[in-house]
Structure 1
């Protein structure tokens, strides 16, 4: 494509040189240009659209119906996020029970979601093995692995980051040369 050509922006309707439009590339070759110019793309970008955010804020403050709608939307999202978290904890517990049954290891005590949450607070959001903050991905690690005859009990599980849990795999703590404290 030559730089001497012009193109009409679909957003502002202005005729501009082709170099004013971002190019789309495949394997290093330009195969097309965007239909909107760079200026219009930046203007409509959600990160730079401060005017739109100010309008929403003003509407939120002045329109009680809009405010109620947004509050209801936020509450619904919070409930679904909490439900997803609860479901993921229950799913992890279920998977570990299945693994325990597969290896015929004894289930001495039932690990409930409440007990697991208490165990997580005991570790204060840090990995048992490396001590680093875990963030949102927390895994249940068996100190003595189920495949080695360890029990699926609250005494045998610890909170671990996914990196430590996957590198420890089915090893005993003294066999694992990971990031032990």
Structure 2
């Protein structure tokens, strides 16, 4: 296993995401300690930063439900949206694909779960720009996502949709979940995936060619 020696504490540790960010020579523990110390030494600046962020959230508009976040967690399978690292016991953070500072909203289609390292590295970048940056640095990225229904690109916006809606007997299970663009997500509403795809074909809209039949299941209690 590759190792790296932290430039701050001098301790040699395994070169894994548990101990190091891929592009840094300071270990994660030292990075956290430095950040915590800054917060303690600068309470007024920290308060201002939080206030600015809360105001951006308020001004951004939009919103998401607990069910939408549940579907997102199931869809991502406890993996970072950007690097696909397993969360395990690591910190998990909600990220806005399009940052609030660039006009992003709090709607579900703009929210993903990310590891702390990716969330920090992404900063104010669009999700598509961050993927491009990671690829240019030779860092692992999740494969590009496309809408299950119309196959449009989902780098900067996407919802988790139920192929078989709960009210029609569908379950909150990974095999019943697909990524959808905001437009298809809204249009599909409470239709099954097969019904919605049929509707798209009848209306001459771009549509994926085939889908696997999904057996109805009840939502677990």
TM-score (norm. length: structure 2): 0.34
Larger helix share, 1 or 2: 1
- Whose radius of gyration is greater, 1 or 2? 1
